Chains A and B, each alone.
Chain A
Amino acid sequence: MQDHDRISSKLDDMKIDSYSGFQKCIQCGRCSASCPAALIYEDFTPRDIMRRLMMGEVENLVAGNEIWRCGQCFSCAARCPRDNSVANAILALRSQSLQRMPLNNEIRQIEASLKKNLYETGETILPSTLLLPLENLGGRTRERCFDNSKRKERLGYAGDTARATPLPKDALIEVRILLEKTGFR
């Protein structure tokens, strides 16, 4: 078995094969040069993710923090001369990490909220799950925006909804069946 076949079977995600293209990476570094995460985090460069994949280091990658550094901007994919996508490789690694590792509490919390949102409303992100840390906002911004849920109501949207008309019950039942059948419950 080729190394990259072993890696694909370990990651069980077709996007690692058909979209990430790690086996044809030439380590040119164009992905890293355009990567905002690589500028911020010393322990992260997309080129290195590709190198480690080529070396078969799946276990380390799945267990490590690096794969959570990426912000999924796909600059790496747009810039790669070989049509590779580090962003897609990272998605396959993240998915394995969540299946296998008890790690990463904050990500687990997001997972739990999104499951609840999808099951209860058919929506992914709701205002209550997207709380920005207030201390990082300016004073005037906090003052101007603290009342936005009231303003939403004026526009016909309830405070913690993402749309003016909620999913009808029969549609929600279909969504729930699909969540169950695809193992996301």
Chain B
Amino acid sequence: MYGTVGKNIPGDDFYLFKSCQAGSWYPGIERALRYILERIGANFADDPRQSSCTGCGYHIGVIPLLTNVALNARNFSLVSHSDKTNMICTCPTCYANLKSCKGLLDEETPVGDRAIAALREAGIEYQGQVSINHVSEILRERLNHLLARSVHSMKGVRAVTHHGCHYSNIFYREVASGNFERPRVLDDIAEGFGCRTLDYPDRFLCCGVGFHHTLCNTDYPRSVLKRKYSGIIEVNPDVIITQCAGCTLNLDLYQENIMETLGVEKDIPVLYVTELVALLLGADPYDVIGLDMHAVPVEPLLENMGILGVGP
């Protein structure tokens, strides 16, 4: 098993890096994050000038590496020129893609140098004094502050976690807790709130989003999800906790159909970690997070946690 490297995780002064997938499908993921940061008194910049990291297009193969690096060199410069230097990503593809672009720029590679030259032609001087973090690492880092602010608990709730592949498998030595095979970042957060997390077969397996597959070849997501859900059903959790908008979409939207195929009658709500933590901190499920946008009903879980109706 590969060792993991220690990691410095900042606790404050964040630059929100907005994700196209989260904003398109579950804007509550970002709204919940803002709610949490405000609640724990963390500083953050919300800069509309940031462009997409283009990671999704890059992994499909349609966005060239040079374009990807150049646009992110611009994003890094924006961060450096703001008064915040710690990027906070809700999307693991943003997280890994930004880290990989920053590596190519810092190591003065040919593609990095060409990207910096293009930036100069656009009138921008490259600056890259930034740190790149995934939101779940930050929440884990600030767990005590979150717990101090919480108004609900997860006692009696049984959960499985699903960490996005681009969080665990690309910079696989840099998983903030556990290791790539068994990441525990989400488990640590949920357990902090009194939840019991369960191990399950095929925990390592991806959600099957597969980038272009999701757009034009749904055999791929559906086959992978059948395996993923077969493992999850075995341990019968009350909730699936995620840290990627794409995984959330795939696990949530296809769930009904996959369960039908597997001949199982069961709803397992899928919650992105910021949605869950914001709820525990007292956010309104609908006005703040828009949980009515989820395909699998979340209400039974909310009732179970005493957030709606009469609690246990």
Contacts and interface: CB of A to CB of B under 8 A. Distances in A.
A100 interface: no
Given A91-B58, A124-B54, A154 B290 contact: yes
A125 B93 CA distance: 13
Nearest to A152: B27
B172 interface: yes
A23 B256 CA distance: 44
B54 A73 contact: no
A138 B54 CA distance: 30
B122 A174 contact: yes
B211 to A, nearest CB: 6
A8 B147 CA distance: 52
A71 B246 CA distance: 13
Interface residues of B, number: 90
B204 A168 contact: no
B49 A141 contact: no
A163 B23 contact: yes
B63 A72 contact: no
A99 to B, nearest CB: 9
B56 interface: yes
Size range of the chain A interface in the assembly = 35 or more
Contact of A40 (B64, B219, B254, B295): B219
The interface residues of chain A, by DSSP majority, are classed as helix
Contact of B67 (A67, A167, A171, A184): A184
Nearest to B71: A178
Contacts of B170: 74, 77-78
Nearest to A131: B215
Given A107-B212, A132-B214, A174-B74, A123 B65 contact: no
B49 A171 contact: yes
The interface residues of chain B, by DSSP majority, are classed as helix
B62 A107 contact: yes
A91 B104 CA distance: 16
A77 B63 CA distance: 21
Interface string B208-235: 1111111111111011100100000000
Given A14-B109, A179-B67, A114 B62 contact: yes
B24 interface: yes
Contacts of A154: 290
Nearest to B114: A182
Interface of B: 2, 18-21, 23-25, 27-28, 30-31, 46, 48-67, 70-71, 74, 104, 109-111, 114-115, 118-119, 121-124, 165-166, 168-170, 172, 180-181, 204-206, 208-220, 222-224, 227, 253-257, 259-260, 290, 292-297
For the complex of A and B, the 7 pairs showing the least CB-CB separation, nearest first, are A138-B256, A94-B61, A71-B210, A162-B23, A74-B169, A111-B62, A181-B118
Given A106-B215, A114-B60, A141-B257, 7 more contacts: A36-B206, A71-B208, A75-B204, A125-B52, A136-B254, A155-B27, A182-B66
17 contacts: A15-B65, A40-B220, A77-B172, A78-B181, A91-B59, A95-B61, A98-B62, A107-B62, A124-B55, A130-B25, A132-B218, A132-B253, A162-B21, A167-B50, A168-B48, A182-B115, A182-B118
